[in-house]
Amino acid sequence: MKHISRNLYYDDQFLDDKIPEELRYLPDPGHEYPFFIAPDFMSVPECDALVEDVLSNGYRKPATVGTESQIRKSIRKTDFLLPSPEFRSLYVDRSQRIKPEVEEFFGMRLVETGETQTYGYPVSGHYLLHADDSVRQYDADGNLTHWKPSNPKRKITCLLFLTDSVMEISGPNQCVGGNLSFDFLLDEEGNPFIVEPRKGTYICFPSNPYFSHRVHEIYEGYRVVITNWYTSVP
């Protein structure tokens, strides 16, 4: 096991030889955690207004998986949502303002890939373990052999949570379930790192297999998140 940050570890013997060299970027292990987190990226009223915006227009399209854009609800049950130009511009403006801090944290110059997307998770919605830049490959016996690059221009993934994940719904724009977990990033007791979504929190992390992540099932309510990706430049 190796430190990926001061408080988290990863299994280098399992992962390193399965990940192509060009995807092996890791943040500075001196960070407390290997994530850039801005808890007040947007205010709660702004998040509530954005959720109302994307849900009021009635546009919901099943999100796809893989390079062939297949709808496979056993892997991913997610709605693709469409914010108004006003709210899309608000998000892009905020992300551009904070980008210098993201660049400093990860030690690289970044440009947007132009893939900003808004997703909703209904009851029973989920997204199984995946990496944003590659897909897992298996041998005939079902053993993981390596990750194959599928979207290598993605270097950094950023998420903005627009809803809260809670144990019991007590207010608007909350859901039960929907935590975000990173199965290969472990604490001292070997437990995967889990993020409980909170309105207005912006979190960024490398898009590679070390940071493979899943969205846990929604049991009540509706989860909304905005995602964008950065690529690196010399």
Residues 121-136 have pLDDT tens digits of: 999 999 999 999 999 9
Indicate the pLDDT class of residue 68, thresholds 50, 70 and 90: low
CA dist., res. 106 & res. 100, Å (int): 10
Q: What is the mean pLDDT of the chain?
A: 96
CA dist., res. 73 & res. 105, Å (int): 35
Q: Which domains does the chain have, with CATH numbers?
A: 2-233 (2.60.120.620)
* Strand, coil or helix: 156: strand
CA dist., res. 28 & res. 23, Å (int): 15
Return the higher-pLDDT residue of 76 and 115: 76
pLDDT over threshold 90, residue 226? yes
pLDDT over threshold 80, residue 157? yes
Residue 119: the pLDDT is 98
CA dist., res. 17 & res. 189, Å (int): 24
Indicate the pLDDT class of residue 65, thresholds 50, 70 and 90: confident
Determine if the pTM surpasses 0.85: yes
Q: Taking residues 142-168, what's their average pLDDT?
A: 97
Q: Taking residues 67-89, what's their average pLDDT?
A: 89
Per-residue pLDDT reduced to its tens digit, 83-120: 999 999 999 999 999 999 999 999 999 999 988 999 99
Q: Taking residues 203-220, what's their average pLDDT?
A: 98
Indicate the pLDDT class of residue 67, thresholds 50, 70 and 90: low
Rg (CA), the chain: 17
Both tokens assigned to 38: 């801005």
What region, left, alpha or beta, does residue 222 occupy, with left being phi > 0 and alpha being psi -120 to 50 degrees?
Answer: beta
Residue 234: the pLDDT is 83
Q: Taking residues 139-162, what's their average pLDDT?
A: 97
CA angle 108, 9, 78 (to 5 degrees): 70
Long-range contacts of 70-73 (CB under 8 A, 24+ apart): none
Residue 205: the pLDDT is 99
Per-residue pLDDT reduced to its tens digit, 2-30: 999 999 999 999 999 999 999 999 999 99
